[in-house]
Structure 1
Amino acid sequence: MTVSDGFLRPSAAGPARTRDARRQALDPSRDKAIAGAVFQVLAELGYRGLTMDEVALAAGVGKGAIYRRWSSKADLLVSFLEAASDDAITVIDTGTLREDLLGLMTTMADILESPAGRATRALIGASVDEPAIAVAYRRGPLACWDKTYAEVLSRAADRGELSPGICNSVAAQAGPAIFYERWFVRGERLDEQFAVAVVDEVMLPLLMAR
């Protein structure tokens, strides 16, 4: 099983290039430094603590270099999320649905308990009041999850383990929803033991009952 450093790993290329031609482009080394800084500040200080000053300090660049490209932290975060849209989780096909799901959910538990998870939590909270961030999150990290999860279920359907079209069912949403509720709403820890319980007690019974 292989996995990226998380939905919000700092992209090697840095935040996505702005579409506004009036802004000056930064050189690649600064792009990477800024991407890493956004990730670091989000994970450590959250959305409210993320300011252009903090990002500039963490990146080791002048604040003006950031403002030449992004007019606000929301604008910066949208670019950051656009860059993250290419970071997909990859789970090797084990040949069985259970093992694929265990690989996927234990990987997700690891990610959500890492700095990537703390950064993700901050962005999810910010998306309530920042529609542009919500859209960018759905198109980026959330789309990566949807694609990978759908691939796992589709492979199982091709093997005859699941019914076709299972990806769009309520049953398919149950396991990930339990993960989200425990992690984001309750703030409780995710670990391998919990992932195994969700797969064996919730996901498999619901998915295979259809």
Structure 2
Amino acid sequence: MLADSGYAGLTMDAVTAEAGVGKATIYRRWRTRSQLVADAVSSLGADLGVPPDTGSLAEDLRILLHWMVAAVNGPLGAATLSLLSAFPHEPELREAFQQGPMGYWSTSFRTVWAQAEERGEVRPGVVDTAVASSASAPILQRWLFSDQPVDHAYADEVLTDVVLPLVQAGCAVGH
């Protein structure tokens, strides 16, 4: 519902109608629309899957970036866009988003980089560097701030033309 109507258009009446329950049932659990949406948002990353571990940083990142492309172009992306303007005024929503979908993505990317470090593909400590952030940041920037498509071809371009050269130039073991 959030993806379809947006946060501003989501009403408790619409939720009760969609759920087929009375208002009292909804209000017993969630006193406000913000609480209801925060509860829903906090679980949005739970079904996205386990971070890949193919034995290759490049392949793991490719898989994650393709998952991210699917997410930003699907209901999760639409729901996220509808919530962005509410974050400054509704910290409960912002926190739920940070712990839910953003927590999933952050953990997944950190896991992939840590696995690469354990395999010796990258130098120790790369998890907390701009190089590690270079994988997801261009995807998010294009999605949020441009009219250009966020697709698998763009994700592959980011990986091939930005991330992997950075890994080879400065992140490799011994540099």
TM-score w.r.t. length of structure 2: 0.89
Contact in 2 for aligned 1:87/1:141 (Cα 8 Å):
no
User: Contact 2:135–2:159 at 8 Å: present in 1 too?
Assistant: yes
Alpha-carbon separation, structure 2, partners of 1:135 and 1:57: 27
Match of 1:166 in 2: 126
> Which residue number in structure 2 is paired with residue 35 of structure 1?
none
Offset from partner CA, 1:25-67 (integer Å, 9 cap, x none): xxxxxxxxxxxxxxxx211111101110111122122222211
How far did 1:88 drift? 4.9
In the TM superposition, what are the counterparts of 1:1-210 in structure 2 within 5 Å? 41-84=1-44, 86-208=46-168, 209-210=170-171
Contact 1:87/1:144 (<8 A) preserved: no
Distance 1:174 1:162 in 2: 14
Q: Which has the higher helix share?
A: 2
Cα separation, 2, equivalents of 1:124 and 1:84 = 15
Aligned length: 170
Deviation at 1:189, TM superposition (A): 2.3
Q: CA distance change for structure 1 residues 192 and 83 in 2, over 3 Å: closer, same or farther?
A: closer
TM-score by length of 1: 0.75
Q: Deviations over 1:65-112 (max 9, x none)?
A: 211221111111122233346445323321111111111101110111
* Equivalent AA in structure 2 for residue 62 of structure 1: G
* Structure 2: distance between partners of 1:106 and 1:171: 18
Counterpart code for 2:64: L
Change (3 A) 1:171 1:107: same
> Unaligned regions of 5+ residues in structure 2, if any?
none
> Retained in 2: the 8 A contact 1:166–1:207?
no
Partner Cα distance (1:135, 1:142) in 2: 10
2:95 aligns to what SS in structure 1? helix
Percent identity, please: 36
Whether the aligned pair in 2 keeps the contact of 1:175 and 1:203 (CA below 8 Å) is yes
- Decide whether the 8 Å contact of 2:51 with 2:111 is kept in 1: no
Equivalent residue letter for 2:28: R
Amino acid at match of 2:59: E
For residues 49 and 166 of structure 2, the distance between their equivalents in structure 1, rounded to whole angstroms, comes to 24
